[in-house]
Structure 1
């Protein structure tokens, strides 16, 4: 095996929290305390400081990217001399289970929709493109839910192609974390958005093997105009996963309709062992094998420390 080449170069410019916060400039804080509470996750409360120091600078940067893309699209339409559908700006958001992707996605959606040039921002979790449980059972993949092979990749790629081509109405399936399966009669309807945020575990993953004949093979990330990876040490993510698992025992798991209802009444020690087993045998394996290797493909990496606070930001150099 050839040794990995070493090059004294990084494609990223790294910023401390303080340096990044300074890039906010005069961007106003548009979210109230009540809105922040509504955007918070089960174990991750969105603080005003986190929005001001991390997400407002990011929303300002993304606004520049979106407005630049809109200007380029208008110029291209004029150059080609034919009508073109509205072209949405697509943001991919990746990272481990329990790292805070959904919370970050909601915060970005709320902030980006406040900018006047792109008020319509839609959010699509890729959980909806998981195969239904019955299909996963048939394929022997139920215990590998969240791994790349558990997704209906063709449907996800078709959805993204339709969105990026400017189709007026596009529908995405809906996943329920309560029943741990798809909701067959529900859909997210995307109608001429300015921005679409696509959030999921493996959205930055390339194909395992490129075709030898050189034919086109689309990646999910081919449809992204900008991508974000949320990172943290494994030990921190494990602690967040376990905190969420134990909290769910007191909330969602108590619903008889919950797929995990059986965990609501076991002892705390049994619950801890069960949660750790699920994390270490499924989610940690997926993180190491599939999610973490895609980190360097992102345009921006948010690295979290304790309490879900972002400590450093790495932005891909232009």
Structure 2
């Protein structure tokens, strides 16, 4: 496990470390006009190394809206809703209307604290109906299959569907997207992995929700992953500033770890207080093993991602993760 408080990026001094920090916070990794803004980010870099860990709030959903569509994914959606209802005693709302009928294979249905939520038929699009129902039900968590209205096999990894894209862009509450019909069996909250690839304004809220949903005896991971494209762009920028210097993925890994030092510390404390196991993983994307449902020991049952809704790059990253993940994905939005 990486000690984010003591380790510094290898082979570079403080000036280059500041440039690393600036690169991680740039909204566009291809921009080249960085020199004028490097000095402005010095205080941000220093703040990553000081102060106590942040407080992890651990929210628990009280009202969950479930939207089923008759697809093969319905069973996985219904089972996850039942698991949450059994453990958290939350109220489950099911959409009732044309196009929201569950398939015969979607059992088990939640039999306890269930509410039927009517669909506003005056709204033409599925995503508008779902968002309106979530607001009227006052849901604090949304569960739905992805792609919505079609079996996963009809699109595969090529697309997440329009409903997912619009829900992610507009929803003000966290949403769990379930991609594959075989995402059933163990409770997804038994093993939750938060994935962060750069500075993300939704990171803290994502950690709150992940820690709130993970089972008391479950496993929570914080994966700080340096994307291959990010590293290549970073290396190009840094080589233009220091042509003779050598930079490795580990330099970005260290800078990313220092960025989230306080979040890591807060999650460590939360794990001690609430009993779940916790691990920090810092990894270069090129070394990351593909996520498959056949490897439950090494791969998580639920991925947790933070979405900055106004950020185009953040939205694209969410779509890419949801599209490729064989596991349910929790998307936690901030404005």
TM-score (norm 1): 0.30
Structure showing the higher helix proportion among its residues: 1
TM-score (norm 2): 0.29
